[in-house]
């Protein structure tokens, strides 16, 4: 079927999600704020320390430092912190 005649709109993204068996998926998931280390472990079997080592190996040093700061401070990369912060923000309303 021609995509122009489909019932559903086609969303085009600049960088689509890589396949889950690709090493690029680990990097993509680690940068994504809503994907926790626990979810990465379920898909790939890699622990948080192995994901950090993979990121250190794959990224430039400045990019790694930027990601590490983001993952450890402002990001909600841990499932317990995610649920805690989410419940706390809902209690404010």
pLDDT at 33: 81
Predicted local distance difference test score (pLDDT) of residue 30: 92
Closest CA to 39 of 82, 91, 92, 87: 82
Q: Per residue of the chain (93 residues), give pLDDT as tens.
A: 555 676 777 777 777 788 888 889 999 999 988 888 999 999 999 999 999 999 999 999 999 999 999 888 766 777 777 777 777 777 765
pLDDT of residue 75: 61
Q: Residue-wise over 17-29: b if at least 16 C-beta within 10 A, else e?
A: eeeeeeeebbbbb
Q: Which one-letter DSSP state was computed for residue 2?
A: -
Phi, psi angle pair for 78, to nearest 5°: -110, 135
32: its two tokens = 């994504």
Q: How many helices (H) and strands (E) does the chain have?
A: 5, 0
Report the pLDDT value the prediction gives residue 41, as an integer from 0 to 100: 94
For the chain, give every domain's residue range. Answer: 20-92
């Amino acid at each position: 079927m021609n995509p122009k005649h489909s019932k559903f709109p086609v969303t085009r993204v600049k960088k689509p999600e890589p396949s889950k068996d690709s090493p690029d998926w680990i990097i993509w998931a680690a940068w994504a704020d809503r994907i926790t280390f626990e979810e990465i472990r379920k898909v790939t079997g890699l622990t948080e320390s192995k994901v950090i080592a993979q990121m250190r190996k794959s990224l430039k040093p400045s990019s790694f430092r930027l990601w590490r700061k983001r993952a450890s401070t402002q990001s909600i990369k841990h499932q317990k912190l995610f649920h805690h912060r989410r419940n706390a923000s809902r209690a404010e309303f």
